[in-house]
Amino acid sequence: METVNTERSYLDMELLRFTTAGSVDDGKSTLIGRLLYDSKAIFQDQLEAIERASIKKGEEHINLALLTDGLRAEREQGITIDVAYRYFHTPKRKFIIADTPGHIQYTRNMVTGASTANAAIILVDARNGVIEQTIRHAYIASLLRIPHVIVCVNKMDLVEFKQEVFDAIQARFLEFSTHLDLHDVRFIPISALLGDNVVERSKNMEWYQGPTLMYLLENLYISNDYNQLDARFPVQYVIRPQSNEFHDYRGYAGRMASGSFRVGDRVKVLPSGFTTNIKGIDFWTDHLDSITAPQSGTILLEDDLDVSRGCMIIPADNGIKQGQDIELMICWLNEKNMIVGSKYALKHTTNDLRCMIKEVKYKVNINTLEKDYEDKTIRLNDIACITIRTTKPLFYDSYRQNRITGSLILVDEGTNITVGAGMIL
Amino acid sequence: MSSKVPISHLRELESESIFVIREVVAQFENPVMLFSGGKDSIVMYHLARKAFYPAKVPFPLMHIDTGHNFQETLDFRDWLVKETGAQLIVRYVQDSIDKGRVVEETGYNASRNKLQTVTLLDAIEELKVDCAMGGGRRDEEKARAKERFFSHRDEFGQWDPKNQRPELWNLFNGKKNLGEHFRVFPISNWTEMDVWQYILLENIALPSLYFSHEREVFERDGVLYAKTSFLKMKETEVAEKRIVRFRTIGDATCTGAIESRATSVEDIIREVAATRITERGGRADDKRSEAAMEDRKIEGYF
Ligand SMILES: Nc1nc2c(ncn2[C@@H]2O[C@H](COP(=O)(O)OP(=O)(O)O)[C@@H](O)[C@H]2O)c(=O)[nH]1
Ligand SMILES: [Mg+2]
C-alpha cells in the first residue's frame, strides 16, 4: 500500500506541469500509463474498467491508452483527439500532464499543451532515431519556450539496450537543436513497456549513469521558470466594496505575471504612465509585505489614479515595450486560413482589443526548420512570422522575456473561435 | 517571502482558480456559481470569497434542487448562505416535473440526476445567465479530463467535445453570440486530494455527511445506499445500521456511502491516500455506461 503523506509534506509540495510529445506509436500512452501506475494514481475501478474494455476489443494486454482516451469517438477510432489532462503526485511534487495527441491537429494540440508547461518530454523510438516529427516537437518546445526538455529514447529493449544507439540519437538531436533556443535538454534511455529508467533504474543499461525520468521530474529546478526580474501586474478587476466598513477601499485585483512587488515600491501605471507607491498588498484578510508570480492578490496604491481592467502596474524605473505595430510568431489553430488584411479580435494579458494582419514575413517549415518566403498561405497548424497593427497601443515584453506579457491570442470575430496563438518577437 | 522559494502547489492552484473566477466576473454580465452543497462547490465558493474580499461575492449561488437531497446538505447550504451573506437562487426539479418539462424515471434505480439538466438549462434561460461556474474537476472522470476552463455551450446548452476552443496560456476566451452561454470550471486542475488538503489548510466547514456517523443503509450492486424515502428498496434488500460516511455528496438515490471511522479532515486525508477506488466509483449515475458522463455533458449537464 502507498505510504501516506503526512499533511505537512503534502502542503509543501511544488507543482510541475509537463507535456508529452512523440509520433504515433512511440509509446506516449504507455509511458504516461506507467508513470500513473507506478505512482499509484490509477485506481482499481479505473483499471478494471479499462481491463473490461480491452478484453471487449480483443486486445492482448491492458491498453493503458484507454485511460486517457476519454471521448467516445476516441475510443471507437482508437486515437486521441483532444488534449487530456492527467494528474499524479509523489511525496515531492504534484504533476499535471497535458497529454497531446498526434494526428491531424498535432501542432495545435502540442502548442496548447506547451503554453503552460514547465517541461516537455519528447519521445524518440530507438529504432527510428531522430525523425521529422522529433524536429517538429523540439521546434515547438523552443518556440513556446518550455524551460526544460527531456528527450526519452524509448523502446531500448528493441535495440538490445545498446549504448551506441542512444549515443547516436543524442548526438543527432544536439546537432540540429543548435539552431533552436533550448536551454536545458536531458537525454534518458528508457523502455516504457518494461519500466527501465522510468521509475526504477535499469539493470539492462549499466552504462547509463544519469537519473531516471521520475527522479528528473521530481528534481528539475523550476524556481527560475518564471521571469523574476521584471515585475508585471496586469489589472484584472477593480475591487470596490461600497460598504461602510471599507468605504474608501479601492483595490486592484490580479495575478502577478512575473517578478515581485513589495509594499512601498515606486510603480508606474500603464497606459497613463503616472507613478505612485504601493500602499498595501492584500490577499483575503491578510496584509502581505510582497507578492510574487504566480500569486494572485490585490494591490492598493497611494494615489487616486484612474486604474481599470487592462491596465498594467510595473516598476517606475523598469521599461516595457509599447506600440501598435507588432511582429510576432503565430501558430494558426483553425481550418479557415488566416487572411492578410483581415481584422481579428485580440486578447493580451487582461486587455481586449482588435488588430489587422498586415504582412506574412515568412512561414516556418517545421520539419526542416527552413524559412519559406514563397508560400505565404497560412493554414491550420502553420507557424509563421507576421506583423499586425493593433487598434490601440499594446504594452508588452517579448515572449522570450516573458511568457505572459509576450503572448496573445487572435479570435475570429464572426465565429468567436480562438484561431491564432501569438508569441511576440 | 524570498522570491526564490516557489509557492506550494496548493497556493498555486488557489491562485489559478481565483484568476479564473475573476476573469468570469470581468468577461460576463450575468454569471452564477452552481452550488450543490458538496465539497467541490464549497471550496469553489470559498475561493470566490477570497477573490473579491473585502467586497461581497458579485454573483449569486444557484442550487438545482432535485428534491432528493440529504437534509444535512440543505441545512448546511442554508447555514453557509446566512453566515457569509451569499445570494442564493434555487430551482426545483419538482417544478420541471409538475410543468411536464421532464418525466420522472420509475423503477428501483429511478433517479432525478439526469432530469436536473433540463431544470438547469431552463433556469439559465429564464434568468439570462451567460456563465455558470461549476465545481467539476478533470481528474473525476475521463470525459471531464478533456474539458476546458472556459467551456462554450451553444444556444441549446450543448457541449461539442470534438470542437472545443483551444485554450492557451492564461488567456481565456469567453466571447459568444446571443443565447449561448459558458460553463467555467475554476477548479479544473484540482484532484480529490488537493481539495481535501485545501479544506484542511483553510479550515473550511463541511456538511456532517462527510464525516463518520451511524446510518441505516442497504447494499445494492456492491454499493451502500442510505435508506431514505426517495429510494425504493426491493423486498430482498435489508437495511441495517452501519458506521459510514459519504465521499461525494449527490442525490440520496445515487450516492454510495463507505464504511469509515474518519471523524476529522486529517482522518479523511489518510483514508483518501489509501483508497484504491475513485470517488465516482460509488456513483450509480456514472456506472450506467462507459460514456455516461460524456452523454450527460453533451446535453448540458454540470
Ligand atoms: N518493446 C517495446 N514496446 C513498447 C515500448 N513502449 C511502447 N511500446 C509499444 O508500442 C506500441 C505503441 O505504444 P503507445 O503507448 O500506444 O504509443 P503512442 O501512440 O505514442 O501513445 C504499443 O504496442 C506498446 O506496447 C517499449 O519501451 N518497448
Ligand atoms: Mg496514445
Q: What is the CATH number of the domain that holds A356?
A: 2.40.30.10
Ligand 1 shell residues, CB under 6 Å: A 22, 24-30, 65, 154-155, 157-158, 191-193
From B11, B175, B281, residue closest to A45, measured CB to CB: B281
Q: What is the pTM of this model?
A: 0.92
B230 and B165 in a common domain:
no
Res B299 pLDDT > 80: no
Q: Is the pLDDT of residue A290 over 70?
A: yes
CB–CB contact A82 B162 (8 Å): yes
Which atom of ligand 1 is the closest one to the Cα of A61? 25
* Alpha-carbon gap, residue A354 to A242, rounded angstroms: 33
Cβ of A397: how many Cβ atoms within 10 Å? 22
Same domain, A38 and A178: yes
Residues ≥6 apart with Cβ < 8 Å to B50 = A283, A284, B14, B18
Q: Give the C-alpha separation, A359 to A232, whole Å.
A: 30
Report CB contact under 8 Å: A237, B22: yes
B234 pLDDT above the threshold of 70: yes
* A45 and A92 inside one domain: yes
Is B201 a domain residue?
no
Mean pLDDT, to the nearest integer, of A56-69? Answer: 67
User: CB distance from A337 to chain B under 8 Å?
Assistant: no
| ipTM for the whole complex | 0.92
Q: Any idea of the CA torsion for B185, A101, A96, B130, to the nearest 10 degrees?
A: -10
Residues B294 and B265 in one domain: no
- SS3 category, A76: helix
Domain count, chain B: 2
Tell me, yes or no, whether A137 and A9 share the same domain.
yes
From the CA of A154, give the closest atom in ligand 1.
Answer: 27
B139-161 residue pLDDT tens = 887 778 888 999 999 888 888 87
Query: Which of A1, A19, A39, A284 would best serve as a mutation to test chain B binding (most B beta carbons within 10 A)?
Result: A284
Looking from the CA of residue A22, the nearest atom of ligand 1 is 20
- Residue A59: nearest ligand to its CA? 1
Whether A321 shows a pLDDT value over 50: the answer reads yes
A166-191: pLDDT as tens digits: 999 999 999 999 989 998 999 999 99
List the shell of residues around ion ligand 2, using CB closer than 5 Å: A 29, 65
Structural domain count, chain A: 3
HEC string of B127-196 equals: CCCCEEECCCCCCCCCCHHHCCCEEEECCCCCCCHHHCCCCECCECCCCCCCCCEEEECCCCCCCHHHHH
- Do A153 and A298 lie in one domain? The reply is no
**B291 alpha carbon – ligand 2 mean position (Å):** 19
Smallest Cβ–Cβ distance between B8 and the set A11, A49, A82 belongs to A11
pLDDT of residue A95: 95
Look at residues B15, B17, B85 and name the one whose alpha carbon lies nearest to residue B56: B85
In a domain, A228, yes or no: no
Q: Do A71 and B56 touch (CB under 8 A)?
A: no
Q: Please give the pLDDT value at position A5.
A: 43
SS3 B243: strand
pLDDT tens-digit readout, A189-217: 999 988 899 999 999 999 999 999 999 99
Q: A1 and chain B: CB distance < 8 Å anywhere?
A: yes
> In angstroms, rounded to a whole number, what is the distance separating the alpha carbons of residues A346 and A421?
10
Same domain assignment for residues B230 and B167: no
Q: What is the extent of the structural domain holding A400?
A: 321-424
Among all bound ligands, the one having the nearest atom to the CA of A74 is 2
CATH number of the CATH domain containing A83: 3.40.50.300
* Strand A321-332 versus strand A418-424 pairing type: antiparallel
Alpha helices in A25-131 (DSSP H): 28-38, 44-56, 65-68, 72-77, 106-114
Shared domain for A101 and A39, answered yes or no, is yes
Q: Are A99 and A17 in contact (CB under 8 A)?
A: no
Within an 8 Å CB–CB cutoff, is residue A72 touching chain B? yes
Do A211 and A249 have their domain in common? no
- pLDDT score, position A370: 92
Q: Is A2 on the interface with B (CB under 8 A)?
A: yes
First to last CA, chain B: 39
Q: What is the pLDDT of residue B100?
A: 83
**Do B81 and B156 share a structural domain?**
yes
In this complex, the residue of B3, B176, B191 whose CB is nearest that of residue A87 is B191
Beta strands in A180-303 (DSSP E): 185-189, 233-239, 251-255, 260-262, 266-270, 274-283, 286-288, 290-292, 296-301
Residue in chain B lying closest to A411 (CA): B173
Grid cell 475591487 is found at: A239
If one counts every other C-beta atom within 10 angstroms of the C-beta of residue B73, the result is 22
Q: Is the CB of residue A53 less than 8 Å from the CB of residue A66?
A: yes
Any A CB within 8 A of B106 CB: no
Helix (H) or strand (E) holding A148: strand A148-154
- Residue B89: domain span: 9-194+290-299
B7·A347 Cβ contact <8 A: no
Which of B4, B6, B15 lies nearest to residue A255, judging by beta carbons?
A: B15
In a domain, A225, yes or no: no
- Is residue B83 included in any domain, yes or no? yes
Contacts of A171 (CB under 8 A, 6+ apart): none
Is residue B18 within 8 Å of B10, Cβ to Cβ? no
Alpha-carbon span A374 to B232, nearest angstrom: 72
CA distance B69 to B24: 29
Same domain as B180, residue B256: no
> Tens digits of per-residue pLDDT, B53-112?
999 999 999 999 988 888 999 999 999 999 999 999 999 988 888 888 888 887 777 777
Does residue A106 belong to any structural domain of this protein?
yes
